[in-house]
């Protein structure tokens, strides 16, 4: 028996029963957008955090996982088992490996495990690099200092070697590149800069073709390069994971804000933050709470609907989008408002008065008030509190038929550290 679930109320009743399995029927040919979950999965519970009535994406439910999978295959749909539930695939007859993606009964493709090869090691003064497999990873880099934007000394070699290794990675179906930065050193730094921007976004052309995830751990690096290696203060690790996998260092708490289909300009490394910010500030953001404090960490999930133009991979799209979204979820503190609004009006299609009003609007200021904008030369520079963004996933919606319209949907949520729980 397979039932179609079309409303929040129907989904809530199934969650309350605690029985069966759910398929998220997003449509299209992108498996990672169509996961199969056990009804008790945390991601199913999060699906109920919407307005009453019709769901944006219909679901299919069955008390039998095997029956659900068979039905999905017969309908010619694609799917991937939820990355947070690695035991699901083993429950299906035949013992399919976790991460199996099926498009029809005649075509099934389990994700290929990394080949068994000897890791490649590079060591140069203040860093050690380990490449476990040149195409599949993981790649780990220990260093005495974090990689900054304009590196000097040994970090020049580090960036070159790390970038070369990352350029060779190739994702499997439904996989995204996940970066984790571990260090007990609490320097003010945006984790996406340390892991991606400062390495060189072009290095992620292949690895980030489907999406990007990143996390910040404030613990000492969890391991050494080898038993005889010196302990170093910073570790950057890159590996492929299934889209939607739970974070390793943070547990997701309450959703504080959510938004859907917010228009955006074509996204790329050079897209102006102001153009994205303006559309986000005018959008209908559903606010459900506020951070517990100005320095409280938070997480975010974004899905980009790509249209014509723009960048070729998510790493290039991610930087201006994250800066703009975080800025739009602030209220400006009012400093230098007239001059900043006038300068920004010279860049985006809005009057200084409209911009000033949007900067001071607190209706979606989940991240609080701060000097989110300040003068920089004859222009402006954005200054959101994105150093508090410690866990994020940015996916590319690869369904056909996007046309020329760009948009993004997402949610911002509270997080709790697993390391200190």
Burial per residue of 255-271, b for 16 or more beta-carbon CB atoms within 10 angstroms, e otherwise: bbbbbbebbbbebbeeb
CA distance 140 to 133: 11
Cis? peptide before 400, omega within 30° of 0: no
> How many beta carbons lie within 10 A of that of residue 67, not counting itself?
14
* pLDDT tens column, 247-295: 999 999 999 999 999 999 999 988 999 999 999 999 999 999 888 887 8
The model's pTM = 0.71
Read off the tokens for 331.
């209220």
**Are 207 and 195 contacting, i.e. CB atoms less than 8 angstroms apart?**
no
**Are 12 and 58 contacting, i.e. CB atoms less than 8 angstroms apart?**
no
Backbone torsion region of residue 316, taken as left when φ is above 0, otherwise alpha when ψ lies between -120 and 50, otherwise beta: alpha
CA distance 235 to 6: 45
* pLDDT tens column, 224-248: 777 778 889 999 999 999 988 889 9
**Are 26 and 409 contacting, i.e. CB atoms less than 8 angstroms apart?**
no
Residue position matching structure tokens 């963004």: 389
CA distance 315 to 202: 8
Q: 353 exposed, middle or buried (CB, 10 Å; 0-12, 13-18, 19+)?
A: exposed
Domains and CATH numbers, the chain: 3-109 (no CATH), 120-242 (3.30.1330), 250-417 (no CATH)
Reported as a pLDDT band with limits 50, 70 and 90, residue 53 is confident
CA distance 249 to 418: 5
């Amino acid at each position: 028996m397979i039932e179609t679930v079309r409303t929040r109320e129907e989904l809530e009743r199934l969650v309350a029963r605690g029985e069966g399995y759910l398929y998220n029927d997003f449509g299209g040919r992108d498996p990672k957008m169509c996961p199969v979950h056990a009804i008790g999965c945390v991601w199913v519970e999060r699906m109920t955090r919407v307005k009453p009535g019709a769901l944006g994406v219909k679901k299919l439910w069955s008390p039998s996982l095997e029956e659900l999978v068979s039905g999905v295959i017969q309908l010619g749909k694609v799917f991937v088992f939820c990355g947070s539930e690695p035991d699901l695939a083993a429950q299906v007859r035949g013992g399919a490996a976790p991460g199996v993606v099926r498009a029809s009964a005649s075509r099934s493709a389990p994700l290929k495990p990394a080949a068994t090869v000897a890791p490649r090691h590079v060591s140069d003064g203040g860093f050690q690099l380990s490449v476990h497999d040149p195409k599949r990873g993981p790649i780990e880099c220990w260093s005495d200092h974090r990689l900054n934007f304009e590196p000097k000394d040994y970090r020049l070699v580090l960036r070159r070697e790390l970038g070369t290794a990352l350029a060779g990675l190739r994702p499997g179906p439904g996989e995204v590149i996940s970066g984790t930065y571990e260090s007990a050193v609490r320097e003010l730094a945006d984790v996406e800069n340390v892991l991606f921007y400062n390495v060189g976004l072009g290095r992620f052309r292949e690895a980030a073709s489907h999406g990007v995830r990143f996390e910040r751990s404030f613990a000492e690096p969890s391991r050494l390069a080898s038993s005889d290696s010196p302990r170093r203060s910073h570790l950057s690790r890159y590996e492929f994971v299934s889209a939607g996998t739970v974070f390793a260092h943070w547990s997701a708490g309450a959703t504080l804000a959510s938004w859907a289909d917010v228009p955006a300009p074509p996204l790329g490394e050079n897209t102006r933050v102001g153009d994205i910010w303006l559309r986000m500030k005018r959008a209908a953001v559903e606010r459900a709470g506020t951070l517990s404090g100005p320095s409280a960490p938070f997480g975010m999930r974004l899905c980009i609907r790509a249209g014509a133009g723009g960048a070729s991979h998510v790493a290039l799209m991610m930087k201006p989008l994250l800066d703009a979204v975080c800025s739009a979820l602030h209220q400006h503190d009012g400093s230098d408002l007239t001059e900043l609004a006038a300068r920004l009006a010279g860049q985006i299609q809005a009057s200084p008065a409209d911009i000033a009003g949007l900067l001071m609007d607190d209706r979606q200021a989940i991240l609080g008030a701060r000097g989110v904008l300040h003068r920089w030369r004859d222009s402006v520079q954005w200054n959101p509190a994105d150093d508090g963004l410690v866990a994020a996933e940015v996916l590319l919606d690869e369904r056909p038929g996007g046309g020329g319209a760009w948009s993004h949907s997402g949610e911002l949520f509270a997080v709790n550290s697993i390391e200190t729980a």
